[in-house]
Amino acid sequence: LFSGRVDFLLSAPALKFLPDPVVPEVAFAGRSNVGKSSLLNAITGRKSLARTSVTPGRTQELNFFEVGGISGELPDFRLVDMPGYGYAKAPPKVVEQWKKLVREFLRGRVVLKRTLVLIDSRHGVKPPDLEMMEMLDGAAVGYRLVLTKADKVKASELAEVHAKVIAEARKHSAAYPEVMITSSETGLGIAEIRAAVLGDAEV
């Protein structure tokens, strides 16, 4: 499916701008700079579908991309790029707006099949990730934890972080017990994550 159509649809700065909930959606979340844009580009095989962070923490929109189907008609499913969180310099007001938008989106989005929460292999699960996971648990939206930038750490370190993140996942009601390992740089885990996304979208 990713070899067919992948188009940017719209950016929604507030819920009233969301597209009609008519096809399945899979969302991507993670801290600013986690490698979300790079992973979206790697999954879709597009070089610059998602902008790689211009100014971290500034984009507060939900970005929608359409995958599959014929242009002008309904796609097979959509990818939702959620605004990056945990940016240290973000003003509290912006953080509050972000939380409100994301919480309401997660609670009310009936077509949202799954969320992928990206975790930097160098850092593991940080407090803002926990907050995101708790929002997802609360909204009962199933999610996968995905380690990014695996090429940046030694194998032993990666194994240690992986085990810790799996242990964290097991504490959360809506989290998958498996944790995927990826690198947009080397292509590690990209085919697997692509297959998982298609399975999650049920297409």
Q: Where do contacts with ligand GDP occur on this chain (CB under 6 A)? A: 30, 32-38, 52-53, 56, 84, 148-149, 151-152, 183-185
| Minimum CB–partner distance for residue 110 and ligand GDP (Å) | 27
Shortest CB 94 distance to ligand GDP, Å: 16
How far apart CA 53 and CA 193 sit, in angstroms, is 21
**Which two three-digit tokens encode residue 188?**
């590690």
Of 37 and 44, nearer to ligand GDP (C-beta) is 37
Q: Which of 23/80 has CB closer to ligand GDP?
A: 80
- Residue closer to ligand GDP, measured from CB, 51 or 170: 51
Query: Minimum Å distance from CB 63 to ligand GDP?
Result: 11
Task: Return d(Cα 2, Cα 191) in angstroms, integer.
Answer: 11
Ordered strands of the 6-12 beta sheet: 6-12, 62-67, 77-81, 25-30, 112-120, 143-148, 175-181
CA distance 93 to 68: 37
Residue 89: CB minimum distance to ligand GDP, A: 14
Separation between Cα atoms, residue 88 and residue 194, nearest integer Å: 31
Of the pair 23, 188, the CB lying nearest ligand GDP is at 188
